[in-house]
């Protein structure tokens, strides 16, 4: 269980910064991180970091696949964790 907490902590910090890096690259008109890669960060456990990064950096908040998708991923992950812990 401790490994899971450490993993989630690290992956969420990384996801947060990946969203920030992509926003910085957008402003500088540099090569960008793909939208699918950004969503994968959320899917692999970084949904809280991705959501915080979206709103902190004001990045991808107008795109429905992020505005709706990342919160849905977070809800699905919470449901999975609750199911796992109650069984």
Average model confidence (pLDDT) across the chain: 95
Output the pTM of the full model: 0.92
| Residues 36-46 pLDDT 10s | 999 999 999 99
Alpha carbon of 37 to those of 2, 3, 15, 34, 82: distances in Å?
A: 27, 24, 10, 5, 26
pLDDT confidence of residue 85: 85
| Residues 4-31 pLDDT 10s | 899 999 999 999 999 999 999 999 999 9
- Residue pair 26/32 in contact (Cβ under 8 Å)? The answer is yes
Of the candidates 53, 18, 58, the residue with the CA atom closest to the CA atom of residue 34: 18
Q: What percent of the chain has pLDDT over 70?
A: 99
Q: What percent of the chain has pLDDT over 90?
A: 91
């Amino acid at each position: 269980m401790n490994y899971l907490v450490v993993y989630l902590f690290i992956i969420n910090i990384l996801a947060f910064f990946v969203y920030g890096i992509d926003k910085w690259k957008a402003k500088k008109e540099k090569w960008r991180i793909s939208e699918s890669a950004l969503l994968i960060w959320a899917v692999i456990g970084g949904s809280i970091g991705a959501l915080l990064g979206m709103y902190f950096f004001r990045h991808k908040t107008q795109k429905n696949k992020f505005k709706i998708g990342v919160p849905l991923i977070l809800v699905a992950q919470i449901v999975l964790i609750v199911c796992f812990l109650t069984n």
